[in-house]
Amino acid sequence: MEVDGETPDSTSLAEPSSTALLTDDQTSVSATNLSPLQTPIPAVPPIVVPTLMLPPVIQPLIPPPIVPPIAPIPTILRPLAPLPVRPPVIRPPPSQNGEANNSDSDSDLDDLGPTRTAPGSSADYEISEESKQVRERQEKAMQELLMKRRAYALAVPTNDSAVRVRLRRLGEPITLFGEREMERRDRLRMIMVKLDAEGQLEKLLKAHEDEESAVSAAAEEGEGEGPHVYPFYTEGLKALLEARFEIARYSIVKAALRLERARRRRDDPDEDLDAEMDWTLKQADSLVLDCSEIGDDRPLSGCSFSHDGKLLATSALSGVGKLWSMPQVNKVSALKGHTERATDVAFSPVHNHLATASADRTAKLWNTEGSILRTFEGHLDRLARLAFHPSGKYLGTTSFDKTWRLWDIDTGIELLLQEGHSRSVYGISFHHDGSLVASCGMDALARVWDLRTGRSILALEGHVKPVRCKTDLCPSLVCYNITSFSTMKSLDAFGMKFVLLWFVIQVLGISFSPNGYHLATGGEDNTCRIWDLRKKKSLYIIPAHSNLISQVKFEPHDGYFLATASYDMTAKVWSAQDFKPIKTLSGHEAKVTSLDIVGDGQYIATVAHDRTIKLWSTSGNGKEKAMDID
């Protein structure tokens, strides 16, 4: 080839060298002059023969092998073949049963060939009636969901009179037969949603607003039927304001005395709180049945000691209250005046006046001779429990009308009507400083109120009870802990339809501790909960009884122990330090409804549905005390 003739380096390598021996420099030079396609050939080093007497032998030179050069690869530019033209793909129309093809590529259609149609097209099958029904159900469910969302987004009046006015403005009947307030509000909501979907709601409301703006001043004074404007607060009496000032002054003094006493007992080296508590618990452990007396012809509902411990008052379902002398439990007088069953009785902490509550919706104030001093009327349903303020000037009552009320003892007027519970209010207890009051009821809540401001400062929620319900997926009974309707709705969201066999947990007993920061509640879940007001949470849960707890009371002097009464026919005493059981008071033959503790903790009285009063006293009650109580 001509390439060989044009490469001078390759021809020089083919010529024989005139020198017999090649040096290293020449070898390196010849190696560098090679073309990139030629491989350098190493030179054969010369053979050095030592000098001998023999004649010199000349070694023949071995010519290096000649490597033929590699011809370069010719570069031939060929034209690219044209890409095949893909025929246009005709996509099938979407199926009528609501199923759409979600594929984003044409790879599935490429494999079908030009003569076949895609699966799912209308050419392969016809839509069945069942598919049409499924599609209709889906569309209906989607419309209902959108309507519900739109309904909850609308602003609907909450006041029943405003709801009626809005219905009349929309041309709808303001009420239907047997319709309640919430049902009427739901009906208004759905009507507004329907009009909003049709685009007529804003037009109608705007027309009515224009009409209202043109109404004369006479209509504004009350002749018209426009919605009333309600204040965001309830205006109180001037007497309530004065009572709040009086309660604030009283509570400041009492709180200062309590804190000073606590500091003195902490810093005084002679004060041994542990020893004093151990002695008090030892006395409580020695409680024995001292006396049992038939209290009435009907079951007994409440009992209370006087502030000096010399009298005991009881109430019965016959509507009659009775006074008994202590410790012989002899009848002193009868309190007759209620027309229905008496539900509770309480002695004043200051003087020998007492109050009774009844199912006739009234509470009455009595003296020890059995005369009625005052009657408190105003509740809309039967009363449950009542308690005196520590100052002795005010009386608190609870009722099944979902309210508790504060009364002035001297004037008999209703100072405060307090709402806040969603169900009936049952128990009430005043703080020993007089600044707070706690209420509990059938809504599984205990609320703490500030009497100086009227605000609810704490809502204590924790009493729960297992609930049995049956689902349509599982015919057997399944146990859940359902404490609110929200939990039930969240379970129903999974398609489980419930046949509920449940009821609301009732919190029946409540009591403040003398230390100022502990609160005890007892309820239908058979437990007694200890709440720490400083931490705003439950401190301890006592699994106290095998049936509901009807009453809870702290020892009124130092709060070293507390007692619980239950429908399991027993009363129990618990340590307030570690909440361990100290004593079980067994002897009643029916439900124990109430109990009370005398000031020094030497006596505990219990009443029950077996119509008996049982007095429990310490074994060393008649002896000299081994330790003085501060």
Residue 160 is given by DSSP the state: H
pTM: 0.62
Please give the Cα distance from 2 to 281 (Å, whole number).
125
Provide the residue type at 505 as one letter. I
53 pLDDT higher than 80: no
> 8: pLDDT confidence band, cut at 50, 70 and 90?
very low
> 367: pLDDT confidence band, cut at 50, 70 and 90?
very high
Among 122, 202, 121, 109, CA closest to 154: 202
- Is-contact 438 449, C-beta < 8 A? yes
- Here the tokens at position 75 are 């570069």
pLDDT of residue 532: 95
Q: Where are the domains of the chain?
A: 160-209, 238-467+500-618
Please, what is the average pLDDT of the chain? 77
Please give the Cα distance from 566 to 584 (Å, whole number).
11
Please give the Cα distance from 163 to 165 (Å, whole number).
5
Please give the Cα distance from 419 to 443 (Å, whole number).
13
The set of long-range contacts for 450-458, using a CB threshold of 8 Å and a minimum separation of 24, is 451/244, 451/247, 451/251, 451/406, 452/244, 452/247, 452/248, 452/251, 453/244, 454/236, 454/244, 454/416, 454/418, 456/420, 458/533, 458/536
- Here the tokens at position 478 are 């399944």
Q: Once rounded to an integer, what is the mean pLDDT over residues 86-113?
A: 48
101 pLDDT higher than 70: no
Which of residues 480 and 334 earns the better pLDDT score? 334
Q: Please tell me the least confidently modeled range out of 138-147, 315-324, 513-522.
A: 138-147
Q: Are strands 342-347 and 330-336 parallel, antiparallel or unpaired?
A: unpaired
Which of residues 462 and 305 earns the better pLDDT score? 305
Most confident range (mean pLDDT) of 143-152, 302-311, 487-496 is 302-311
Considering the domain 238-467+500-618 in this protein, what is its CATH number? 2.130.10.10
Lay out the sheet containing 287-294: strands in order across: 287-294, 612-618, 603-608, 592-597
pLDDT of residue 85: 59
Tell me: the pLDDT tens digits for 196-232?
Answer: 777 776 766 665 666 566 555 444 554 444 555 555 5
CA triplet 567, 573, 579: central angle to 5 degrees? 110
Which of residues 531 and 464 earns the better pLDDT score? 531
Tell me: the pLDDT tens digits for 381-390?
Answer: 999 999 999 9
